[in-house]
Amino acid sequence: MDTKSKHLLIELFDCHKTTLQDQTKIETLLIQAAKAANVTIVQSVFHKYFPQGVTGVVIIEESHLSIHTWPEYGYASVDFYTCGKGIPEKALDIIQSGLIAGRTEVICVDRGQSLTDTAMSLRYHRHAMKN
């Protein structure tokens, strides 16, 4: 099956803790990232937790971009799932620099494969990136 879907799982470590708590900044950052990836934004919804943390999703015509932050650990997880002509890799630099991440790990999954094929591709697609 050829779905032309791609799913980036982005792990961001040693991030700026104040930024991870700033709902407005996080939402602006993800919208900029979606635009850089050349996808069509439909809507965004973000929620700030107390005492800390932000969760949000940018719904795009091609699927979604979501984030969950843990300021107490300096950590954020981002999922960017696209189908069609979007290029989610173009969002990486914006997200990394915006969160001031010290270390980033990315898994890229081509969706629409059998579980056996997907498991094998996951095994070989994890990349650590130093900023």
The residue count for the chain? 131
**Of 16, 64, 68, 125, which one is the catalytic site residue?**
68
For residue 84, what pLDDT is reported? 81
**Full-model pTM:** 0.83
Tens-digit pLDDT profile for residues 73-92: 999 999 999 988 888 889 99
Q: Is 15 a catalytic residue?
A: no
Assigned token pair, 30: 């993800």
Q: Is 68 a catalytic residue?
A: yes
pLDDT tier for residue 2 given thresholds of 50, 70 and 90: low
* CATH code where residue 78 lies: 3.60.90.10
**Of 5, 7, 63, 66, which one is the catalytic site residue?**
63
Tens-digit pLDDT profile for residues 5-56: 888 999 999 999 999 999 999 999 999 999 999 999 999 999 999 999 999 9
Report the SS3 class of residue 51.
Answer: coil
Who has greater pLDDT, 114 or 96? 96
User: What range does the domain containing 34 cover?
Assistant: 5-130
Q: Is 97 a catalytic residue?
A: no
Report the SS3 class of residue 50.
Answer: coil
Q: What is the mean pLDDT of residues 116-129?
A: 52
Assigned token pair, 102: 């010290």
**Of 44, 83, 108, 125, which one is the catalytic site residue?**
83
H runs (alpha helix) in 1-131: 17-20, 23-36, 92-99, 115-123
* Domain count within the chain: 1
